[in-house]
Amino acid sequence: MKLWQKIFLYTMVLVMLAVSVTSILLLKNSFELAMDQRKQAAYTEHEFLITNFKSMLLSERLRQNAIVLEKSQVAEYMESTFGAETVKNGIAFYDKNLEPVYQNREFSAEEELLNRVAESGESYLQMKGNALYILSKESLETNTYYFLTVSDLGSVISMHRDMLDSARTVSMACAVAIAVILLAAVKLLMLPLQKINAGTRAIAQGEYERRVSVKGKDEISELAFNMNRMAQAVEENIRALQDVAEDRKRFIDNLAHEMKTPLTSILGFSDLLLIRSDLSEEQRLEYAGIIKDEASRLRTLSGKLMEMITVGEANVEWQQEEMQQLFSEIAVSLGVIAKSHKLVFSCQSEKGKLWMDRELIKSLVYNLFDNAVKASREGGAIAIRGWFEKEVFFFTVTDEGIGIPKEEIEKITQAFYMVDKVRSRASGGAGLGLALCVEITRLHRGNLRIESAQGKGTTVTVRMKGGKGSEER
């Protein structure tokens, strides 16, 4: 059973119960009130008849100039006074022995009622079928009589039954009307849920760009809004996974390509050395040099890959380092390389401490310096400068080399990407240096920005807040 059917069914049952119970209670109260009023009226009439009868009986005794009216005389007088055509109520007279004296129509009083009044002397009311029996003990002309009146309550009961029938009819009509209105209301209220359901089904089938229209500020609108947020998150995650998958495929393809070239050279020239015995010493040295260069390139490639894999792992050692001292050490190591390439080199930093992994930061600076050397011409300049802004450390690596085309800047941090593949391979590059730099910078809660102009040089700016040790101080 669907949700809208459950809501409709449960609500309909509750409404019907509420209407029925309310109608029954109202009719019950109305019937009880009518019965109480009718009983009160019957009792009042009973008392009125007794009072009038006593007065008329006294007048009759005086008229007949009798000391006491005989039992037969009383019966005759009652017949003339309370005959069937005279009053609408049933009337009966009993003597002190509960023997009938007069009765204007056929009915019988309960013996239990007669005995109760005889014992207590009080008036009693008793319902029997549609009739109300009222019996009281009275003294008339020094004699004791029991006066019984019978009132018909059939009209009240009949009216109650008619009202019940009418209530059932009205309840059924109301139920039908309420059912129609309720069905339309439930259908209308369920429309947003149906749209959400359709949207969810579409998203589950791969339409991640699908969104549910949001209107209003109720719970359903909030659900639709959250569904859209979920769909957006799913879409973003799917795109991210697709990007990761594409990057991984590109990475593997590039890795296979980068390894294939030197391996082919190594195998080819190794075969030549093994097969040909007529090679001159100069040729052997040339082939051996090629094999050595290609093997070195493979070693560099494997080293870079290992660094990328191990960056951020549990063996990272966080410690607080004095940056001016660290950059002085780096300047000594890199100064020799810069001199061998006939480059003007400077490396310095302000004083200040930063939580970091010493070896990773060195690798970061060495890779940026290596890229600058490869891009620089003989006689060019490379400058490394570091400084602090509050607790954030900045350093730049600036060269006066060939520069990078603007459209290539966004791509050069991808693994194996090389702007000039021929030049990069010739200098032993594999396109992994900047990708490694980005990872190290990210690990130190920072970012890397590249600014370059062709023919004028490149500036790489690194901004770092430091490693996790800075959060523990």
pLDDT, residue 90, reads 81
Prediction pTM value: 0.43
Q: For domain 315-471, give the fold.
A: Heat Shock Protein 90 (3.30.565)
- Which is nearest to 94 in space by CA: 117, 125, 62, 126? 117
Q: Look at residues 428, 305, 434, 435 and name the one whose alpha carbon lies nearest to residue 369.
A: 434
Could you tell me which residues come within 8 angstroms of residue 393 by beta carbon, excluding any fewer than 6 positions away? Answer: 323, 352, 354, 386, 387, 463, 464, 465, 466
Could you check whether 3-160 and 315-471 share the same CATH topology?
no
* Domain range summary for the chain, segments of one domain joined by +: 3-160, 315-471
Sheet containing 143-152: order of strands: 100-103, 90-94, 143-152, 131-140, 124-128
The per-residue pLDDT for 347 is 93
C-beta separation of 364 from 467 below 8 A: no
Of 364, 334, 362, 345, the closest CA to residue 434 belongs to: 364
pLDDT per residue as tens, the chain (473 positions): 666 677 778 787 888 788 778 888 888 888 888 888 888 888 888 888 888 777 777 777 777 776 666 667 777 777 777 665 555 678 887 877 878 877 777 777 777 788 888 888 788 888 887 888 888 888 776 678 888 888 888 777 888 788 878 877 887 788 788 888 888 887 777 777 777 778 788 877 877 777 777 677 777 778 878 878 888 888 888 888 887 787 677 667 656 655 665 787 788 888 888 888 788 888 888 888 888 877 876 776 666 566 655 555 545 678 899 999 999 988 988 888 888 889 999 999 999 999 988 878 888 888 889 889 988 888 999 999 999 998 899 999 999 988 888 777 776 766 555 444 434 444 444 456 677 788 888 888 899 999 988 888 999 999 998 865 444 43
Model pLDDT, residue 396: 95
pLDDT value for 187: 77
- Ramachandran sector of residue 93 (left: φ over 0; alpha: ψ -120 to 50; beta: rest): beta
Q: Is 396 helix (H, G, I), strand (E, B) or coil?
A: strand
Architecture of domain 3-160: 2-Layer Sandwich (3.30)
Q: Are 137 and 118 in contact, with CB atoms under 8 Å apart?
A: yes
